[in-house]
Structure 1
Amino acid sequence: MARPGQQTSVVLAAPARRQSFVVKAASSAAVKPAKQTPAALQTVVYKFQQCSDPKQRYQLVLHYADGLSAYPDELKLPENRVLGCTSQAWVDVSLDSSGKVQLRAASDSKLTAGLAGVLVSALSGLTPEQLLDVDGTSFMQLLNLGPGVMAPSRASGAANLLATIQRRTRVLTTQLPRFPSLLITRDSLQPQGTFAEAQAQFLQPNAQQVAQLVQLLSAKRIGVVAHYYMDPQVQGVLSAAAEQWPHIHISDSLVMADAAVRMAQAGCSTIAVLGVDFMSENVRAILDDAGLTDVQVYRMTSADIGCSLAEAAESAEYTSYLQEAAQTPNSLHVVYINTSLRTKATAHSLVPTITCTSSNVVQTVLQAFAQVPDLTVWYGPDTYMGRNLAQLFTQLADLPDEVVQQLHPAHTAATVRALLPRFKHYASGTCIVHHIFGGETCELVRKGYGDAYLTAHFEVPGEMFTLAMEAKARGMGVVGSTSNILDFIAAKLLEALQQSYAQRLVFVLGTESGMITSIVRKVQAMLLEACREDLEVEIVFPVNPQAITIQQQGSGGAAAPVELPGSNIAVLPGAAGGEGCSSEGGCASCPYMKMNSLDALLAVAQRVGSDAGAAMLEGFKPRAYEDKVGGLSMAQAGCVPILHMRHFSQQKQLSKDLVQDVMSRRVAPATGC
């Protein structure tokens, strides 16, 4: 018997034969009686199950295309199109006078029209509650429309058709909050909602500010590396300045240090780092490793630019986690790049350690298990990413070997199943930005944007990860790093550019809102190059409905920091100070990143090049560590796990030195009582 509150599966009988069909049961305090599968659905499933071979099922799909009623041309609008179909498809959903759902659909492909006809026949006339209770995956499986009938992309299109029908039914029957969004066209930006307006405000920067920055940077040979999570004001100016001064680079944290090395080798004598402190530390360490010790590196303030995730890894609890790993033979610590050099150095002194990013963590872990016998992997400190990895591996363990091997050729479902008990992850480390993408926010994404393209950073809570993975399975989602998200949006736009008709692509941005600048510039550049005015890209910001939207005013009318409930972190005032911050503690934009303002960059650049300025900037240098670890400086020791990752990135396998370290490292003696 199902436990209270658990979803249940219902086994029902179809005419003349028994079959399983899943109808979603609503969660409740007690198990409710099984819901009856509507007769129309049973009839459609029965017809397909009576077909003796794939050819008959294919012909039956085409028969349903012939049964579709005429679809008015005036309804063939971009907003009625179904995203994720390989051909044009439209769906119109309405309620009749009795409150039943009525569907109309069409496609310029007969096969897609047939799939639409199947859904129209099965779902028209249902109540909204009945339609929303249909489990699409189960329904499509019962139709048995596998590779013998149609390509996987067509089957995914059918799933997207159903997702669109259910989302539009929900909109007709439920008052759902709409998230703010930014509509991007070739020549314009149209923000919807105050949060989107704040993000769009600086996407077309002031030309005078751009010219001033370019003059300063070029005259003093200053390179700039910045993270995607910068404020739109800063990114807008930097992106425009990069067209005139090539030594400006905006990326995720992995690439920032490599870009700094290239700038230094090209003649830049100073590198300005716009990010949190572990990023400037990494830049300093990689420059030193490349022999570029004379190049100066500056942060944008003398104050600490923290990171909730990095700080979690410097806690006593994380040290205890590493000490447990040190007591386990054949252990490898995979540490997220978003940590300090101290964390990396200390960790490696206890357990062989390699850094990872959100884009390479899956391959790093799977390769390590494939390469080292009886390995135990300890991942940290990001709890959400660790849980998501465990969920991904659990799913892989139940998939066909050929699917597993598409992800990593050395693994099968059996090998993945075997590694599950030996994959550990830390339980108490979260990013205050990605924390927002869980709970109520995720549920609103599911209900209101289930047919949109869903993007999610690997650090988001499990609810959003699951939602994006479900979308990914039907070609509608991506889970990965900021670079992976940008590449996914560009790839879907490229597909649309290869088609000749008007479209609006809708993407839910499941990561920090600062990415919008890079997205806008990429999208508009592609639309301009293709000379397309009929394509639109809408970026949706899933901001929690309980977001803070009003800045508090301090004495004299100055904006004062807003304290987040349950946190000692203040939201720094700015163009969007406090905007999009959940009362639960998560924000759509990082308050730490807001410390990297345009004024701060200009002030640093103005001071570079003089003795007095250098003295004033002494506190702006990355944190210097005086203590040593294993005979190495903290910076040198902290660089070792980074270099292990660089080897893996280049060779696609762990270095011999790291493997030998894992297999020969003696178990640390137990401490404590």
Structure 2
Amino acid sequence: MGCTAQVWLEATMDKDGRMRFSADSDSEITRGFCSCLVSVLDGATPEEVLAVKTDDLAALNVGLPGAQRSRVNTWHNVLVSMHKKTKALVAERQGKPPFEPFPSLVITADGIHAKGSYAEAQARYLFPDESKVEELVNVLREKKIGIVAHFYMDPEVQGILNAAKKHWPHIHISDSLVMADSAVNMAKDGCEFITVLGVDFMSENVRAILDQAGFQKVGVYRMSDERIGCSLADAASSPSYMSYLEAASRSPQSLHVVYINTSLETKAYAHELVPTITCTSSNVVQTILQAFSQVPELNVWYGPDSYMGANIRVVLEQMTKMTDEEIAEIHPAHDRDSIRSLLPRLHYYQDGTCIVHHLFGSEVVNRINEMYCDAFLTAHFEVPGEMFALAMEAKRRGMGVVGSTQNILDFIKQRVQEALDRNVNDHLQFVLGTESGMVTSIVAAVRSLLSSAKSGGANINVEIVFPVSSDSMTSTSNSSPGVSPIKMGDVILPVIPGVASGEGCSIHGGCASCPYMKMNSLNVGCEPILHMRHFQASKKLPEKLIFQICNPSSNGKSVPTS
């Protein structure tokens, strides 16, 4: 996978324990690349094979280094496949039990095949009862209700929503950045009510943006009387985060870049202390780079996701090794010197995690390295450093994506479309490095692509792999209705989150109210969101925010507008 041409690779181990490789391709150039690799590694020991890294190939300067879809990827991807086959043969020779494969869903133009009980649970709701769908559509049409839902909602809910969308267009499933914009469009089309399926801060964002767009009379509803919290939102309302903001407020020319996965109260309190703009996983790097370009002596304080903060720093440190021309393609106002100068002034909170993405740690990474290193790898920006590094390496050789849920969906669609355009039989395997609820939208998008090209004749299979870790089992509180641990021998296994839990939220919800949240008005909490919307539209931070950064004493007071 990942090569622009078709490549076939065979690996065996001879009686002396040395690796024997052969390869072929339907491309003369690619066959030549493979021949070079085989000439070097055929007859080598397993240790010698595994010692050759993809970075070693980049020094050969063949193809177009740095180009995501260039011939040089053949060197990288065939080498990674050699590594995978070598590890499997060594384990077989040593009599080691093979790794248990992760559960997965295989999508074809004709249907879906689930591998493993976890995948079966995900697939169960992809084809809902039509009577339930019809009942829902009738209510939505009668009451003029629009629905915005997050990619991470329960598969049962998403399955019905995807089916209902064919009959009622005012249903949208997306990442959190797009949900509020979709609600505005629904209001423009005559919807009198918007139902938000997600955690509480998503409802707050929708309410704030509808008000700003002039739709104060459109009702916004969420689907539970209980508060639906999230570990990141909890972290941002903790005393330690308040201390972090206090430190930011004492630093000159500071900007607080707060992840959108926080409550309106957090945004309001923070903006009273230090100028604040919200961000999402898809725009956080550009937001930070743009802020430094507009205020050169700026101090940026990012929070509350510690993994994302660390990953942002890694991305910027890697940029210092790029050419000025490559950096300018990412942001035209920066070069290596400017990136080096901003790094000491980039701060991130050290104690906030999404409990779902926290699970993509060393155990999951080790199994991916052993079994799926030659698959397409997707990772959310919130994953731990091990998974982030693995995905970034895959991205460099055209085999991965790191970003938001929408970035992940777009990457999968793009790779499937490329396979369809080649019109040859192919099996594409994607490791899903984010919450498993994403699979509903992925399946719908992939099936749509495969169905539209069904007459082309090529047999394309798309496999979505769920990296489920044993650490993904979390205990539930005694107040959780209908959920209880399972005893297996002397070990008590608590409930696995995923189907019933949302974007890093506990099954039972319950964000604690923070006593440190003191603010003049909740309207202040909307301002960081509006600042982000201005940035999304103009690619510049608003003058009002710049004024607040350069004049800290004016924050929250009447200032120039833009």
TM-score > 0.5 by shorter chain: yes
* Deviation (angstroms), 1:594: 6.2
Distance verdict in 2 for CA 1:549–1:430, change over 3 Å: closer
Partner of 1:383: 306
Partner of 2:558: none
Scaled by the length of structure 2, what TM-score is found?
A: 0.90
Question: Which amino acid letter does the alignment assign opposite residue 341 of structure 2?
Answer: A
Partner of 1:154: 71
Q: Residue 217 of structure 1: SS of its match in structure 2?
A: helix
Q: Residue 243 of structure 1: SS of its match in structure 2?
A: coil
* Deviation (angstroms), 1:217: 1.0
Q: Residue 354 of structure 1: SS of its match in structure 2?
A: strand
Question: Which amino acid letter does the alignment assign opposite residue 122 of structure 1?
Answer: V
| Alpha carbons 1:549, 1:580 under 8 Å: kept | no
Q: Is structure 2 residue 86 aligned with structure 1 residue 169?
A: yes
| Alpha carbons 2:64, 2:70 under 8 Å: kept | no
Distance in 1 (alpha carbons) for counterparts of 2:285 and 2:340: 15
Partner of 1:133: 51
Deviations 1:76-114 (A, max 9, x none): xxxxxxx11111111011112222211110011111101
* Deviation (angstroms), 1:666: 3.5
Deviations 1:22-60 (A, max 9, x none): xxxxxxxxxxxxxxxxxxxxxxxxxxxxxxxxxxxxxxx
Distance in 2 (alpha carbons) for counterparts of 1:190 and 1:549: 28
Question: Which amino acid letter does the alignment assign opposite residue 170 of structure 1?
Answer: K
Distance in 2 (alpha carbons) for counterparts of 1:494 and 1:447: 28
Partner of 2:464: 539
Structure 1, unmatched stretches of 5+, are 1-82, 564-569, 572-576, 582-586, 597-622, 669-673
Partner of 2:525: 638
Distance in 2 (alpha carbons) for counterparts of 1:554 and 1:647: 42
Question: Which amino acid letter does the alignment assign opposite residue 282 of structure 2?
Answer: S
> How many correspondences in the alignment?
535
Distance in 2 (alpha carbons) for counterparts of 1:147 and 1:485: 24
Distance verdict in 2 for CA 1:424–1:554, change over 3 Å: closer
Q: Is structure 2 residue 440 aligned with structure 1 residue 503?
A: no
Partner of 2:190: 267
Q: Is structure 2 residue 353 aligned with structure 1 residue 353?
A: no
Distance in 2 (alpha carbons) for counterparts of 1:436 and 1:538: 21
| Alpha carbons 1:300, 1:595 under 8 Å: kept | no
Distance verdict in 2 for CA 1:469–1:554, change over 3 Å: closer
Q: Is structure 2 residue 265 aligned with structure 1 residue 320?
A: no
Q: Residue 273 of structure 1: SS of its match in structure 2?
A: strand
Partner of 2:335: 412
Partner of 2:10: 92
Partner of 2:94: none
Distance in 2 (alpha carbons) for counterparts of 1:333 and 1:121: 54
Partner of 2:368: 445
Distance in 1 (alpha carbons) for counterparts of 2:314 and 2:443: 32
Q: Residue 246 of structure 1: SS of its match in structure 2?
A: coil
Alignment of 1:470-509 (within 5 A): 470-509=393-432
Q: Residue 553 of structure 2: SS of its match in structure 1?
A: coil
Deviations 1:130-164 (A, max 9, x none): 211222212x144342559x997111221111011
Q: Residue 153 of structure 1: SS of its match in structure 2?
A: coil
Q: Is structure 2 residue 220 aligned with structure 1 residue 297?
A: yes
Partner of 1:332: 255
| Alpha carbons 1:401, 1:413 under 8 Å: kept | yes
Distance in 1 (alpha carbons) for counterparts of 2:247 and 2:220: 36
* Deviation (angstroms), 1:258: 1.4
User: CA-atom RMSD, angstroms?
Assistant: 2.7
Deviations 1:611-657 (A, max 9, x none): xxxxxxxxxxxx9x9x9834xx21x1111000000000000011111
Distance verdict in 2 for CA 1:588–1:296, change over 3 Å: closer
Question: Which amino acid letter does the alignment assign opposite residue 152 of structure 2?
Answer: Y
Scaled by the length of structure 1, what TM-score is found?
A: 0.76
Distance in 2 (alpha carbons) for counterparts of 1:249 and 1:142: 46
Question: Which amino acid letter does the alignment assign opposite residue 97 of structure 1?
Answer: K
* Deviation (angstroms), 1:461: 0.6
Partner of 1:652: 539
Distance verdict in 2 for CA 1:151–1:319, change over 3 Å: closer
Task: Work out the percentage of aligned pairs sharing the same amino acid.
Answer: 52
Distance in 1 (alpha carbons) for counterparts of 2:256 and 2:365: 31
Structure 2, unmatched stretches of 5+, are 92-97, 487-492, 556-562
Partner of 1:223: 146
Partner of 1:143: 60
| Alpha carbons 1:230, 1:594 under 8 Å: kept | no
Partner of 1:664: 551
Q: Is structure 2 residue 431 aligned with structure 1 residue 514?
A: no
* Deviation (angstroms), 1:173: 2.4
Distance verdict in 2 for CA 1:146–1:542, change over 3 Å: same
Distance verdict in 2 for CA 1:537–1:294, change over 3 Å: same
Distance verdict in 2 for CA 1:519–1:146, change over 3 Å: closer
* Deviation (angstroms), 1:580: 6.5
Question: Which amino acid letter does the alignment assign opposite residue 662 of structure 1?
Answer: I
| Alpha carbons 2:392, 2:402 under 8 Å: kept | yes
Q: Residue 158 of structure 2: SS of its match in structure 1?
A: helix
Question: Which amino acid letter does the alignment assign opposite residue 452 of structure 1?
Answer: A
Q: 1:190 aligns with which of 106, 113, 116?
A: 113
Question: Which amino acid letter does the alignment assign opposite residue 529 of structure 2?
Answer: I
Distance in 2 (alpha carbons) for counterparts of 1:667 and 1:316: 25
Deviations 1:10-31 (A, max 9, x none): xxxxxxxxxxxxxxxxxxxxxx
Partner of 1:394: 317
With a CA cutoff of 8 Å and minimum separation of 6, indicate the structure with the bigger relative contact order: 2
Partner of 2:489: none
Distance in 2 (alpha carbons) for counterparts of 1:488 and 1:472: 11
